[in-house]
Structures are given as C-alpha cells and as structure tokens.
A and B are shown apart, each in its own frame.
Chain A
Amino acid sequence: MSEEQVTVAQIPDISLQFEGRVVKDTRAGYSGFIVGAEHLLDVVQTLRDELGFDYLSSVTGVDYLPEGKMEVVYHLYRSIGGPALVFKVQVPRDEAVVPSLYHIFKSADWQEREAWDLMGIRFVGHPDLRRILTWEGFAGHPLRKDWKEPYFEEETKPYKSRWPEGITGYIEDNNPYHDNLQYPAGFDPETWIPQAEEALYASAQKIGRDKELHTDTVVVNLGPQHPSTHGVFRMVAALDGEQVVFLKPVVGYLHRNHEKIGERNTYLQNMPFTDRLDYVSSMSNNFGYALAVEKLMGIKPPERADYIRVMMAELTRWMNHVFSFGFLWNDLGSYFTPMIYALEERELILDIFEAVSGSRMMCNYFRFGGVARDLPEGVLNKVKELVFERMPRQLDAIDKMLSTNEIVRNRCIGCGVLTAEQAINNGASGPNLRASGVPYDIRRADPYSIYDRLDFDVVVHYHGDVYDRYLTRLDEARQSNRILQQVVRDIPEGPIMTGKPAYQVRVPAGEAYGRVEAPKGELGFYIVSTGKPNPWRYHVRAPSFINLTSLEDMCRGGKIADVVLNLGAIDIVLGEVDR
C-alpha cells in the first residue's frame, strides 16, 4: 500500500490497475467502468480478494437496442461501508453471453437467473440457469426492448387512444380469453411436460441417498398455497427422515413484470406502482424510487420534506418489524391472536398514513423533490403521542412476552444459522445481515437524506440464528423510535417541494442507482434515462428476493418444522419477491 491514506469513501480507479482490461465509462451521465467479458472473472476475483469489495449488491441487464448491445451492470460494495463500484460488461445483443459470477458471489445466483429469464442474457458457468419468474411456456424475454405482449397497445404511456378520441371498452372484449396468450414456437400447453420441474425433483432425489441401507429421501412440496409461506411461494425440499437435505424455493406466482410496466410508464406514473412492491412498507419503496430519480435530476428536497420522509420511513420500519414479531408468533404455532396484538400500533400508524397521504397502504406520497402534501393539522401531535408513549411501551411488552419465553428460545436459538461470510456472499441485507454480525446499515454506510445528522446506533447481533434476527429487529425498532423522537422534536417549518409540482418531469440522460435501507434490507432502484419522459431501464433490487438466496443455507441440516420459522425470520413479502 502507498503512504497515502485510503478511506472507504474513495473508489479506486480500477482502469489504471487493470489497464487494457478495464476502461472508464465515459458516456455522459454515466459513471463506473466497463470490463471486457473475457476478463470479468479475474477482475472481480481481484476486486473481492485484494480491494475488499466483498458485497455484490445488484446484477442486472440493460438492453441498448439502438446500439445492438446488451449491458450487464454490477454494483459492488465493501461490507465496511462506502459508495458503490459500478462496472459493466457489454456484449452483442444477439449473442448475449457473459461469464457467471456464481462461484465468486452467490448473491449473483438468483439475479443472474432473473436476467436470463427477463432479458435473455446467458451466464456461462451458472449451475442452475433456469427461468425464475416466468415459466417455460413463456414466449421470449420480456424486458428485451423488441418484445411485445399479446395485448400490446403502445410502447410508452400516455396512450394516444385515451385523449382526445377517448376510446374505451372492456378489456376482455379487446383481448378475448384464449387469444391473450402467446407460447414459444412448438409449445403445446396440452401435451407439455414440465421438464424444469422434473429436473428439480430429480436433483432433489439425488442428494442424501444411502446406498447401504437402501434408504431414499422424500421430496416434499411446501406451498404454493400454505399458511406458513406468507403468500404464494413454494419450496421443494428433500427430506432424510425429518432432516432437510435439499431445499430450493420456487417463486414467480405473483409475477406481473413490474419492470416492463415501469419502462412503459412515465417517471411519475411509477410512483404508485412502487407501493405495490413491498406493500407492507410502501413509504420506503417511494423513498428509494424518489432518491434514484432525484439523483438523475440533480435536485434535493427541502429540509421539512426530508424530515417528513424520514418520519414516514421510520414509522414504516417500526411497523414492519413489529408485524414480523406477530408472524414469528404465528410461525411458532400461536395462531393469530398475538399476531393481531402486534397489529394494534400498526393500525394507529396506518391512520396517520391515511391522514397524510390518503391511503393506508398504497401511500403514493413521495414526489421528486419533496412530498405530495404537507402534514395535515393534528397529525404531528398524533405521531408524538405514539412515539413517546405507545410505541416504546409496546416494544417493552413484546420484549417481556417473547424474549424470555421458553418456546421462543427453544425453537429459535441455534435455528437457521447463517454465518457472516455466508450472509455477505449471499448478498443478504437488512436485519438478516446484521443478525449475522455484519454491522452494515445503509443509513450509516452510505448515508442518504438526513440520516447523517440523526443520532442512532447500527444494531448488530452475532449468532446469525432466528433468535438473533428477532433481537436485531427488536433493537432496530427501538432505534427507529429514537430517530422518530428526534424527528418530531426538530422538524422545521418550510416548503415541502423543490420547484413547482409537475406531472412531466425532465430527467436528463444518464444512469442512477438509488438505494435505501428498507425494513427488509437494501432496496435499490437502477434507472437509465435517455432524456425522454419514460425511463429506458427501470430495475428494482428487491431485498426480499435476494435474501431468499440464503434460505437453503439456513435450512439445510435442520428439521422440516424449522423451515417455516426460517422463512418467517427472513421476512419476505411476495409482492416484492415476484415483482
């Protein structure tokens, strides 16, 4: 190392270190580096092992149709904090083949499968490159810019037919049943054999077979309709007796191609759609998206708006964590009565959201450069009542009821252990990562909004089991409470919007990645703008989705009954997993 002091906030110029293999990305509005596809594995290995970039946060593709190029974008972080190292690999569109990072970063597993499924980028070296969100009977790769749905109307919104001719009609008349589908060539749904499913079951059966005793593993499907899966979600597990020897999640039942919708929408039209990702914490989703677009536009919200935003985000976090305790109770078998108790404060917080934004869950409250409207009269007092009295009291009650409860301790301690190395390598984020002993919180590691001025601690626990995940959430809820107390004390008067509210925002060409510490983990929005009213690329790095990569590591070797608990402790929302 040279004499100069290197801080984490600095991104090294890797185009010097890897001369000839890496060049700077010099397009206007873009940052980071472009790596040659053939050098990708070497470069990434060095970045991880020598430069300390050990956390692969996001992998996604961008289809640059006019240039005939397909680009894969990687966001790499250090798990000790600091900004992102962004690098890209460019390959021809017709032959999109990129080496897989699966063996260096396991967090690439699901994200590469997603990029293959939606964009048709083939990752060489990925051991399980199946479709993930759609199915085999799906024609084409929907996020390619030349892909069109069977009921295609127009490339971008607003659609011209709505005004001034005002053409209207029932959807089913325009696109009748049976004609609203398209299959790949040679695909017949009647005679179709689900090959990927068969292969999955076969690989499940292969593991754990004992030749001497002639025992066999049992393959069990948990879900998609199962009360413990918190939605439509399936796990294929192979059991040796009661022990789990193999487990693969199957997702996509709720898939609606959020990103394609997002690319059709204008920037503002996307805001209410982000509510539908993690519908338990819609305010946080709004926050991430607003940050990403504001980065592109180069604007900042006024002080009061920042305070309101943080207030909403922290209320959401508190509510989400307490909600997850309710589910922990549920998953432990105490069906629904305590769960409803955990919802009480949530109701009061939702009352506040309703008074402020107009809707309890689909808030649609943030705007680019501020928030939609100021706090109505009386709301701040209600929040004060909650954060100074009721919310701390409820946390204490939960602490008393759960933390020393014998059933909770017996079931949770030592269950579903995820080590720090595994957590980082799997790209786990949020409480899952911090319960494994990695004090990584984006609010501190890469501060946004006013978090650098607020006084709070990053919660960390070290055992990486379900009990520590629960403790992490409990302590984090206390920290949220602490932040809220500061916010309601210091919130200034003033405007809530920068500039005039506009329904068509001007977003300069370029790329931006906005990320927030959502209650579930790192929620990132990667946006590419071409200067038009609609984003060229809109990608969501969903924490629930990527946290599920760790599920197998948590469950393998444990009992089948604990799978339910492990899944509950990851805290997923299927609206975000399947997008």
Chain B
Amino acid sequence: MTGKGFLSMLLGVFKRFVMTYVEDFRKGKKRYYTAEGIESRRKADVQGIFTIQYPEEKLPVPEEFRFLPFLVYEEGPNGEKDLRCTSCGICAKVCPPQCISIVRTNDPVTGKPVPQPKEFYIDVDICMNCGLCAEYCPFDAIKMDHDYELASYTRQGNIYDIERLSKPVSYYAGIRPTNYSAEEHARQEKEALKAAAKKPAATEGAG
C-alpha cells in the first residue's frame, strides 16, 4: 500500500515521543538531574529521551579523558610545592603544534642546568589536546586534565604560566585513580629493584 512506509516512519517517531513519558512515569523524578538518572540514560538499553541537559546535567568523563595538560607537584609538609618536572624538554619536543615553551634553570654559580623549570608556558589556544606530552613524559610530571569549561572573554591570559599549570599530586590521584596507582606501583617496584641491586654490591665492597 502506498503510504505505508511513510506512516511506519511517523509511527517510529511517535513511539519515541511516547516512550519518553512512559520512562519518566516508570522511573519517576530520579530520571533527571541525578547521577543515577544520567547513568541510566547512557546505557545500551535506554529508551525514550536520550539527551543530557547540559549544563544542568553533565556527563561524567572517563578516566582517560584528556583536556589541556597540567604540571604535577608533590606537596611538602609545610605546603611547599615540589614540581616533578625536570625541564628535560621532551614534552616541548613531542608537542605537535609546539605550544609548550620551557625555560631551563641554570645554576647561578656554575651555570650548569638544574633539573627544574624556571618558566613553563602552554599556549592553550594552540594546544590540540592530543595528550602526547603526558604520554611520553618519563617523570609523570605532566598530565592531562579533566576540566573542560574554560570559556573566557579575551585571548589575553590564554598562555598559561607555571603558576596556573601546577596542580597537586592529590588532584591527579583524584581524577585518574587507576593510572596513579599503576604508576606508584611501578615506581615502588623499580625502587625495590634498585635497592636489591645495591645491596649485594655493598656487601661485596665490604667483604
């Protein structure tokens, strides 16, 4: 029959419309604006309305989500910030759009380079969020952030300096728990290996 296909399409649209209200009725108020509701609307068996009401609701981001790099620092007991960065320059070299600029610290007396950055700039207008800096940093000193709401009125101030980029290690552990614990685990193992390698050498020297 002519028109049957057309009607079945309209029916498909109508069914979706109705299903939204059926689901609302079935699940009640918790379908919207709650973590549980958002999660239920991302499941593979979701029916009815699918959209997330941004900005009132926000999709939780997965751990691997990456948006702009930041520098990780260890917090000292008296609140001092000890950046993990050694200013080796690998991130600046691997960066595809070349948005990272690092000024190396030189020892004022000897003039030799000191393993900490004097200045560290990231031009976030140019950054393409590829995550290569975080991936290839040998010291786990630069990591990708989760904060994606960065709208501003001017371009001035979009070159982030070392102050703006530094975030504590606790923040990093908070947003990427799995990665953090895996890295800590690997580091402890390495240190244990080092210690084990040192010991026999030490006893040999003594003997």
Where the two chains meet, the residues of A that have a C-beta atom closer than 8 Å to any C-beta of B are 157-159, 161-171, 265-266, 268-273, 337-338, 341, 344, 347-348, 351, 354-359, 362, 364, 372-373, 376-377, 382, 385-386, 389-390, 397, 400-409, 501, 503
Is the pair A164, B89 in contact by a Cβ cutoff of 8 Å?
yes
Tell me, yes or no, whether B119 is within 8 Å of chain A by CB. yes
Is the pair A358, B64 in contact by a Cβ cutoff of 8 Å?
yes
Is the pair B64, A389 in contact by a Cβ cutoff of 8 Å?
no
Number of B interface residues in the complex (CB < 8 A): 53
A376 to B65, CA, bound (A): 12
Interface centre among A158, A164, A272, A403 (most CB of B within 10 A): A164
- List A contacts of B92 (CB < 8 A): 158, 162-163
User: Mostly helix, strand, loop or mixed at chain A's interface?
Assistant: helix
Is the pair B159, A168 in contact by a Cβ cutoff of 8 Å?
yes
A168 to B126, CA, bound (A): 12
> Which of B12, B13, B118, B132 sits near A503, CB closer than 8 Å?
B132
A408 to B3, CA, bound (A): 11
Closest to A404 in B: B5
> Which of B13, B95, B102, B126 sits near A337, CB closer than 8 Å?
B13
Is the pair A168, B101 in contact by a Cβ cutoff of 8 Å?
yes
Is the pair B65, A354 in contact by a Cβ cutoff of 8 Å?
yes
A502 to B103, CA, bound (A): 24
**Chain B residues numbered 30-57 whose CB sits less than 8 Å from any CB in chain A:** 42, 44-45, 50
Interface centre among B64, B90, B92 (most CB of A within 10 A): B64
- List B contacts of A269 (CB < 8 A): 94-96, 132
- List A contacts of B6 (CB < 8 A): 405-407
Tell me, yes or no, whether B140 is within 8 Å of chain A by CB. no
Is the pair B93, A382 in contact by a Cβ cutoff of 8 Å?
no
A159 to B93, CA, bound (A): 8
The number of A-B residue pairs with CB atoms under 8 Å apart is 147
**Chain B residues numbered 118-138 whose CB sits less than 8 Å from any CB in chain A:** 118-121, 123, 125-126, 128-132, 135-136
Is the pair A376, B89 in contact by a Cβ cutoff of 8 Å?
no
Closest 5 pairs (CB-CB, A-B): A166-B103, A272-B130, A164-B104, A163-B89, A358-B66
> Which of B44, B45, B94, B120 sits near A268, CB closer than 8 Å?
B94
Is the pair A162, B65 in contact by a Cβ cutoff of 8 Å?
no
Tell me, yes or no, whether B71 is within 8 Å of chain A by CB. no
Is the pair B119, A166 in contact by a Cβ cutoff of 8 Å?
yes
Is the pair A158, B132 in contact by a Cβ cutoff of 8 Å?
no
- List B contacts of A405 (CB < 8 A): 5-6, 8-9
Tell me, yes or no, whether B78 is within 8 Å of chain A by CB. no
Is the pair A354, B64 in contact by a Cβ cutoff of 8 Å?
yes
Apart from A270-B96, A376-B63, 7 more pairs, CB < 8 Å: A161-B101, A163-B93, A269-B132, A373-B64, A376-B62, A377-B178, A390-B45
B109 to chain A, nearest CB (A): 18
A170 to B126, CA, bound (A): 10
User: Mostly helix, strand, loop or mixed at chain B's interface?
Assistant: mixed
Q: List 24 A-B contacts (CB under 8 A).
A: A158-B93, A158-B94, A164-B102, A164-B113, A166-B118, A166-B119, A269-B132, A272-B130, A272-B132, A337-B13, A338-B9, A341-B16, A354-B61, A355-B63, A358-B64, A358-B66, A359-B131, A362-B130, A402-B9, A404-B5, A405-B6, A405-B8, A503-B94, A503-B132
A410 to chain B, nearest CB (A): 10
Closest to A357 in B: B64
From known contacts A163-B102, A338-B13, A389-B45, infer whether A406 and B155 are also in contact, taking CB-CB under 8 Å. Answer: no
Is the pair B62, A362 in contact by a Cβ cutoff of 8 Å?
no
Is the pair B102, A170 in contact by a Cβ cutoff of 8 Å?
no
From known contacts A158-B98, A354-B65, A406-B5, infer whether A168 and B135 are also in contact, taking CB-CB under 8 Å. Answer: no
**Chain B residues numbered 147-167 whose CB sits less than 8 Å from any CB in chain A:** 155, 159
From known contacts A358-B131, A405-B6, infer whether A157 and B98 are also in contact, taking CB-CB under 8 Å. Answer: yes
Where the two chains meet, the residues of B that have a C-beta atom closer than 8 Å to any C-beta of A are 2-6, 8-9, 12-13, 16, 42, 44-45, 50, 61-66, 87, 89-90, 92-96, 98, 100-104, 113, 118-121, 123, 125-126, 128-132, 135-136, 144, 155, 159, 178
- List B contacts of A158 (CB < 8 A): 92-95, 98
A344 to B64, CA, bound (A): 22
A355 to chain B, nearest CB (A): 4
Closest to A385 in B: B44
From known contacts A158-B98, A401-B12, infer whether A376 and B64 are also in contact, taking CB-CB under 8 Å. Answer: yes
A486 to B180, CA, bound (A): 34
Closest to B134 in A: A358
A100 to B44, CA, bound (A): 53
Closest to A387 in B: B44
Is the pair A503, B5 in contact by a Cβ cutoff of 8 Å?
no
B114 to chain A, nearest CB (A): 11
A359 to B71, CA, bound (A): 20
A169 to B64, CA, bound (A): 30
Closest to A367 in B: B135
Is the pair A348, B44 in contact by a Cβ cutoff of 8 Å?
yes
Is the pair B101, A406 in contact by a Cβ cutoff of 8 Å?
no
Is the pair B66, A359 in contact by a Cβ cutoff of 8 Å?
yes
B72 to chain A, nearest CB (A): 17
Is the pair B62, A354 in contact by a Cβ cutoff of 8 Å?
yes
Is the pair A389, B96 in contact by a Cβ cutoff of 8 Å?
no
> Which of B42, B100, B113 sits near A348, CB closer than 8 Å?
B42
From known contacts A273-B96, A351-B42, A503-B93, infer whether A401 and B132 are also in contact, taking CB-CB under 8 Å. Answer: no
Interface centre among B65, B95, B96, B100 (most CB of A within 10 A): B96
- List B contacts of A364 (CB < 8 A): 130-132
Is the pair B101, A401 in contact by a Cβ cutoff of 8 Å?
no
- List B contacts of A169 (CB < 8 A): 159
Is the pair B178, A397 in contact by a Cβ cutoff of 8 Å?
no
Is the pair A163, B101 in contact by a Cβ cutoff of 8 Å?
yes
Interface centre among B62, B104, B119, B125 (most CB of A within 10 A): B62
From known contacts A162-B98, A358-B131, A359-B129, infer whether A170 and B9 are also in contact, taking CB-CB under 8 Å. Answer: no
From known contacts A357-B64, A405-B9, infer whether A389 and B44 are also in contact, taking CB-CB under 8 Å. Answer: yes
Is the pair A397, B12 in contact by a Cβ cutoff of 8 Å?
yes
